[in-house]
Structure formats: structure tokens, C-alpha cells
Structure 1
Amino acid sequence: MRRVVATGTFDILHPGHLWYLSESAHLGTELWVIVARDENVKHKPRPIIPEEQRVIMVGALKGVFKAVLGDQHDMFRPIEEIKPDIITLGFNQHFQESRLRDSLSERGLKTEIIRISEYAGTPFTSSRRIAEEIRRRAVSDNCSC
């Protein structure tokens, strides 16, 4: 058995998320997904979809063995519990692979880290861009031009 962990916010599900999770699932026999807690998302706007809904949606996706919420205080706690062989990172996740490897090693975890490439099949591969487009269209549709 090869256990893979993917992590992310997964706010508004889009083809980029499906690509990331599908590519991650192909690397092992079990794909676990750690979904970021609302309060831990600090590098981008707060998620629109509540964490409880995001973890249910991600858990329902084909190829996902189990989806769990991240720990509120220690991002490595779920990883210690899951004990993955591989952790995948999305192309735009801000982790520095060498620092992540060092942090995992300090906790006695020997986990391979693989960065998944960007999905380029559609312009809507970012929850932020989707939200911006919704706002843009709402403004233009309400325009009295």
C-alpha cells in the first residue's frame, strides 16, 4: 500500500483541483486529502465555502480515499497520524520543498514530496479568479448602460 496525502483549501471546486487530486491519486493506492481549516487560511482571502462543506465535497470526489480537516494548531499532526509515503503539492502552493522536507525529518517522517503540474485546460483554475469573474459579471449585468 502506498499512501498519498494532498493538501489544500479547495474553496470553490474547479478543474484544477480535480487535476491535482487525480494526479495525486495515481501515485498511490490511498489518497488522503487534508482540507485547510477556515482560520488557518492566511495566505489568501478567507474561503467562501465553510470548512465542513469543503471537506464533504472533497471526500466525495472519485479517487479520494478519505478527506479530513487540518489541525487548528499543528499542520503536521494529521500527517503524523496518516503516515503518508508521499505528500503532493499543487503547482501554486507556497511550500518550499526543502523546508518541508526538513520539518518532516525533524518529526521522524520520511515522506517523499512531489509537486503536481498546473492544469492548463481552462481559464478557471483558481477559486479567487472564479470569485472575481462572478463579481465582474454581476456588476456588468447590473449596469444601466
Structure 2
Amino acid sequence: MTADDATHVVAQGTFDLLHPGHVHYLRDAAAMGDRLTVIVARRENVTHKETPVLPNRQRRDVVAAIDAVDDARVGHPADIFAPIEELDPDVIALGHDQHHDEAAIEDELARRGVDCEVRRSGAREPEYEGELLSTGRIIDRILEERG
């Protein structure tokens, strides 16, 4: 298989305090193709929830350490679609609970001339009582137990 034949998948997210839900999302995204690039949101661009605790580079480095990930990078400072235009993926994989509107993403991709499919990964349920699959819940637990 040549690089031109490989299905390139892009996943994106904040990935603050990496947890099993993130690993599931990235493995699911990797299974959608042959190569997975992950775009880690810049702290300054995260407006839909609390600002990440960890710095951009640290979150990128931890994501890059996951076996399913072929490449990880920090997102563009001003235009979240700029890396997508540069990478020209075949698939954009969204997390099952990410806030993104698939139709709006597809419209913006079409406007920019990027031909790729938008898919959602499947959900991962906790495997045992007390397993935390949310950065917010992890932070809350830390504050409860050690705050």
C-alpha cells in the first residue's frame, strides 16, 4: 500500500488529563483508517468548557505516546480548520460526546474544498464501578479527596 492509498484519519480534542475514554476514542479513530493524526486543541482556543490544566505541548506529547497515534500536533492558533486543509484527511473522527455539529463541520469542509468524511466514534462505558471517563470528573474527585 502506498501513502496515496492509505486512509488518513484526523481526530481532535483537548485531551486534558488523559483517561481511558480518550484512549478508546483514539483507538476507535485509528480503526477507521491506516494512519491517525491527532490535533490537540490549544488552551486559548478551548471555550466550550474549562481551560485545560496541562500545557499544550504536554497534552500533545502524552497523546503522541499512545500506540494508535501516528502523529500528534497542537492546533492552529486562530483557525481550527487550517490543519485540516494542510493534512487533507480522508476521515475526521469525532468523539462520541464531543460538542461539534457534524453538519456544520461538513459545510465548512465543503466551503474550503476539503473532501473528507466526518464520523463519530462509539461510546465507551465504564468497565468497573468508580472508573472515571471524564477529565472534569477526575478533577472533581481529586478536589474531593485531596483538595
What interval of TM-score do these two structures reach, taking the shorter chain for normalisation? Answer: over 0.9
- Taking the aligned partners of 1:71 and 1:61, their CA distance within structure 2 comes to 22
Tell me what 2:101 maps to. Answer: 96
Q: Distance in 2 between matches of 1:59 and 1:82?
A: 17
2:126 to 112, 121, 125: 121
* Runs of 5+ consecutive residues of structure 2 not aligned to the other structure: 1-5
Is the counterpart of residue 19 in structure 1 residue 12 in structure 2? no
Which of 108, 111, 115 aligns to 1:110? It is: 115
1:62-108 Cα offsets, whole Å, 9 max, x none, are: 01010011001000000011110000111111111111100000000
Give the Cα separation in 1 of the matches to 2:43 and 2:117. 27
CA distance in 2, matches of 1:56, 1:95: 24
Cross-structure match for 1:60: 65
Q: C-alpha distance in 1, partners of 2:113/2:122? A: 28
Aligned residues: 139
Q: Does 1:8 align with 2:13?
A: yes
CA distance in 2, matches of 1:92, 1:72: 24
Q: Distance in 2 between matches of 1:121 and 1:2?
A: 30
For residues 49 and 136 of structure 1, the distance between their equivalents in structure 2, rounded to whole angstroms, comes to 20
The answer to whether the aligner puts 1:74 opposite 2:79 as a matched pair is yes
**Aligned counterpart for 2:48 among listed residues 18, 43, 51:** 43
Structure of higher CA gyration radius: 1
Separation of aligned partners in 1, 2:100 and 2:49: 14
Q: 2: CA distance between counterparts of 1:76 and 1:26?
A: 23
Aligned-pair CA distance for 1:121: 2.5
Match of 1:30 in 2: 35
2:3 match: none
SS at match of 2:9: strand
Q: Report % sequence identity.
A: 43
User: Runs (4+) of structure 1 moved beyond 6 Å?
Assistant: none
Aligned equivalent of 1:138: 146
TM-score under structure 2 length normalisation: 0.92
